[in-house]
Copies of this chain bind each other. A is one copy, B any other.
Amino acid sequence: MGRLFVVGLGPGAPELLTLEARAALERAEVIVGYHAYVDQVRCWRPGVAIRATPIGAERERAQEAVQLAAMGRTVALVSSGDAGVYGMAGLALEEWERVPAAQRPALTVVPGVTALLAAAALLGAPLGTDFAAISLSDLLVPWPSIVRRLEAAAAADFVLGLYNPASATRHWQLGAAVGILLQHRSPDTPVGVVRAAYRDGQRTAIVALGEVPAQPVDMLTILIVGNSHTRRCHDWLLTPRGYRSRPDEAASWVPG
């Protein structure tokens, strides 16, 4: 019987792959994925069969991976970050379900470090407490649904991770989102802007919410918008979890 691994590659650096993801990629006879991601794998698995597909062809990519596995091959379908977060896991499952039961391959989803966690680590500790992830791409979800989620999350003081803030064809969504957030949060609210986390060209900045629309953003950028407790801590971003300092801790501690 064939086998399909749906694998999250993490943000990009091979060091942020999990060992299980690496093992799945080593076991695979065929690796299916978007050009830029499978190229990462090619360098350490020379000779493996690679099916690279263009961006936008997600459905076809999932079909091809499932089809190959249904024919008995061991296949790794790769996503950046975590395959379950705006990645290929859902499409893979939809295609897997359509295969007649007798031919359905064994299916394993291998989790990974999603962009939100990668960006958060580079910023320090911005998540801290409850958080929400929202994609600003309205290609597959109607914009009013996105607005409803932005409003709800902003009003309930979630830390917010904004995926897909802009692309070659989407320019106005981030400005519109910030407008909504500013109805609930101070323009001074700190926001982490991270581009290409753990990849060439990595860039991190901490700016005020009111300044966000002036930031250059693209498909490789993710933003983390602080809640009402988030603050800068030197070059880091910190959302306290809620631990209260005890009075006896108030005096500054000096290392021995």
Contacts and interface: CB of A to CB of B under 8 A. Distances in A.
Contacts of A156: 148-149, 151-153
The number of times this chain is found in the oligomer is 2
A63 to B, nearest CB: 7
A110 B99 CA distance: 39
A139 to B, nearest CB: 8
A118 interface: yes
Contact of A18 (B18, B84, B129): B18
Interface in A154-209: 155-158
A17 B15 contact: no
Interface in A199-256: 233-234, 236, 238-245, 249, 252-256
B90 A240 contact: yes
Interface residues of A, number: 89
Interface in A39-73: 58-59, 63, 67, 70-71
Contact of A71 (B90, B126, B244, B256): B256
B23 A15 contact: yes
Nearest to A122: B109
Interface in A106-156: 107, 109-114, 117-118, 120-122, 124-135, 140-141, 145-146, 148-149, 151-153, 155-156
Contact of A19 (B17, B124, B240): B17
A238 B94 contact: yes
